[in-house]
A = this chain, B = another copy of it.
Amino acid sequence: MAKISESTVSRLSHYYRVLDEVSGEGGKVISSQLLADREGITSAQVRKDLSYFGSFGRRGLGYSVEHLRGQIRAILGLDRRWRVAVVGAGHIGSALLAYRGFAAQGFDVVAVFDADPNQVGRADGELTVRHVSQLSAEDAIDIGVIATPVRAAQEVADALVAAGVRGILNFAPRKLRVPDEVWVRAVDMTTEFESLSFALSQPHAPRRRRAAG
C-alpha cells in the first residue's frame, strides 16, 4: 500500500462518517460524487483517495456502502479497541469523559489522571481520578489525552511517553517534544479562536474562502 498522507487520512475519517450515516439510513450504494459533495472536493480526489487501498467503485454504479465502510474502518484502525487515558480532569477532560461518541468508534477512556490533590479520588463518570504520578506501563494506555493547563503539558507528555504511550492528543496550546516513535495530534481551540479574530480584524473581507472545516 502506498504511503497515505495526513490529509488523506483526515478525508478517510470524514468519508467514514458519511458512510456511517448513509448506512444508518439504509443506503446500499454511494457515488464518489456524493462523498465529494459532502467534503467540498472533486470526485476525482475521492477516487484517488480510495484507490490507495485498492477500492474502485464501478463507473455509474458507485461503491458498496458496507464494503467501503469496512475497508476504511480497517485502514483507520477502528476494527479494534483503543485504551485512552485523559490527563486533566477539568472542563475539557470531563466533557471528553462524558461524551459517548468516542467509545462508539473504539476509543475507550479507561483512566483519568490529575495533578491536583483535590481532584484525586473524585469519581468522574465511572472512573476515579488518580494522581498523575500513578500512571504506569501497567495501564497499557494506547492514547493519552492532555487536557491540563499549558504549563503542565510537557511534563505530562513525558510521563505518558515513560508509560509507553505512543499516541498523544494534545489540547494544550503548546508544542510538545516527544521521541520520534510517538505521534502527537493537537486540538488547539485557543489558536482556532484567535485565527478567527485575526481574520475578522482584517480591514477587507477575504474574497476567497480559506481551508474550511
Contact = CB atoms under 8 A, between A and B. Distances in A.
Interface string A172-204: 011111101111111111111111111111000
A209 B178 contact: yes
A77 interface: yes
A124 to B, nearest CB: 13
A189 B187 contact: yes
A126 to B, nearest CB: 15
Interface string A45-80: 000000000000000000000000000000111100
Nearest to A98: B91
Number of this chain's copies in the assembly equals: 2
A37 B133 CA distance: 26
A117 interface: no
A184 B210 CA distance: 7
Contacts of A186: 192, 212-213
A17 B197 contact: no
User: Closest 8 CB pairs between A and B?
Assistant: A186-B213, A77-B201, A95-B95, A77-B197, A170-B213, A167-B196, A184-B212, A13-B191
